[in-house]
Structure formats: structure tokens, C-alpha cells
Amino acid sequence: MTGTVLVVEDDDNIRAVLRMGLEDEGYSVHEAATGEAAVGMMRTDPTEFMIVDVMLGGMDGLACIRSVRGFSDIPIVVISARTGTDDVIAGLEAGADDYVPKPFMVREVVARLRALRRRLSRQARPGAPAPAGPPPVVVIDGADELVLSPEEGVLRRGELRVHLTTTEFRLLCELADAGGRVVSRQDLLARVWEHGFYGDERLVDVHVRRLRLKIEPVPASPRYVVTERGLGYRLVTA
């Protein structure tokens, strides 16, 4: 079994194609035709991944994602016929990790899930046993007690865990691995998204904004994840 995935799509034919293709790859597929049903299913019987169409009747896909993000950090892939950059960014700002335009090949969706699984495998899940010995840590701010533990897959502020999505966590780890050096947007696209995400560097900016909202004391004036204009981003540690 590769994993469990909830497909949220109101087109019966597209949903059936996704189900068959994902099942061929070893996924256990759950289905929802509405955003409301999907949110209810994720509360009562959560899956490991979600695939969400943006244009749903009633609660649209973006509202569905925002609702799920209120209680879950699972990887989410958006599928949509709306392929403009603004539409892609809207999906990411709602909380999606990846975006696949329609029409699509099922193998492309599978490839995105595979990349997300690789990211997830680097980030320990809640309840997973800690590695033997002291895990590597990055003290981002000793005064604020903001500590990143890449091997444990955890970011903590004091004793409290800061909940990041898989993509946000990988983004922070890549910046931490740079040791204070600037990392370009294209390098972050290649390292975090792997497939390059259409090469649109603004997509990195969306996830950086989401990350800042969770870790920065004043997100509008970041002191940890700083922008080096024209070059990229750099993680400043105290």
C-alpha cells in the first residue's frame, strides 16, 4: 500500500479516472464530490494526502483547503483548469503544497504525490520514535527558543510545536542547510519542489510568506527569513 488519498472532485468521470490511476499505483482512494463532504471526511477519517479541484459547487476548493488547514498539515495537491499565475498563487496561499493544471495525465499527479511523499519521509510524523542520540538542531533564535530539529521533523518554540506543512518544513530546512548563505528562488524550486513547479519563482515567495506568518514575530518585518533583493532568501539565526 502506497498510502491513502482523498480525491475531491465533482466531475464523476475525472474522479473515476483519478481513482483508477491512483489505485494502479497502490493508493487507497477515498472520494468526495463536494468541499463540505471532504472537510467532514478529513475530520472523521483523515487520509495521508488530498487532491482537490478548485471549482467545486457550494464550498469551492480553496475554501475546502483553508478549512482543512485549520486542523491538518497533510500534503494537498490542487487540480484546476485555471492555470494563470494568480490562480496558482491563490491555491498555494489557501494552503496547497502543489498545483496541477487541467487537462492532466494521471501519471503527472502520481509524480507530484511521489515527490510529496519523499518530502514527508524526511519529516518525522507525530508520534514517530526519535532517532538514537542527540538529533541535529538549528537554533534559529535562542532568546525566542525557536529551534529546528530536521531529523525529528519538528520546529519548536519553547516546548510548543510550530505546525508547518510538509513544503514549509522542507523550505525552512533548505534555508537552514545553507548556513546563513543566500539561496536563490530557482535553487529552492529545484530542491523543495523537485520538478521546478513551472519555473515560476513567485511560487517560492508564496510559501515564504506562509512560513513567515508562522514563525516571525512581525511577518511584515521578518528577522529570520530575510529577502536579499534580486538574489533570494537567507535564514538569519541568533
Q: What is the pLDDT of residues 35-50, one digit of tens each?
A: 999 999 999 999 999 9
Tell me the longest C-alpha to C-alpha distance in the chain: 55
Output 226 or 108, whichever has higher pLDDT. Answer: 226
pLDDT confidence bin for 82, thresholds 50/70/90:
confident
The 10 Å Cβ neighbour count of residue 86 is 9
Distance CA 154, CA 205 (A): 22
Beta strands at 49-53 and 3-8: parallel, antiparallel or unpaired: parallel
Give pLDDT, residue 125. 44
Q: Grade residue 121 by pLDDT with cuts at 50, 70 and 90.
A: low
Write out the three cell numbers for 50.
488530498
Spell out the CATH class of 138-235: mainly alpha
Cβ(29)–Cβ(19) below 8 Å: yes
CATH superfamily ID and name for 3-121: Response regulator (3.40.50.2300)
Q: Which of 158, 186, 154 is nearest to 172 (CA)?
A: 154
Question: Inter-axis angle of helices 166-177 and 106-121, to 10 degrees?
Answer: 60
Q: Would you state the pLDDT for residue 129?
A: 46
Query: What is the pTM assigned to this prediction?
Result: 0.77
pLDDT at 133 (0 to 100): 47
Domain residue limits, the chain? 3-121, 138-235
Phi, psi of 39 (to 5 degrees): -65, -45
Q: What is the rounded average pLDDT of the residues 162-186?
A: 92
Under the banding of pLDDT at 50, 70 and 90, the label for residue 128 is very low
Answer with the residue of higher pLDDT: 85 or 16: 16
To which residue does cell 518585518 refer?
A: 221
Banded pLDDT at 63 (limits 50, 70, 90): very high
Average pLDDT, the chain: 87
Whether 71 has a pLDDT exceeding 50, the answer reads yes
Checking if the pLDDT of 123 tops 70, the result is no
Confidence of residue 20 (pLDDT cuts 50, 70, 90): very high
* Same fold flag, 3-121 and 138-235: no
Q: What are phi and psi of 51, to 5 degrees?
A: -120, 120
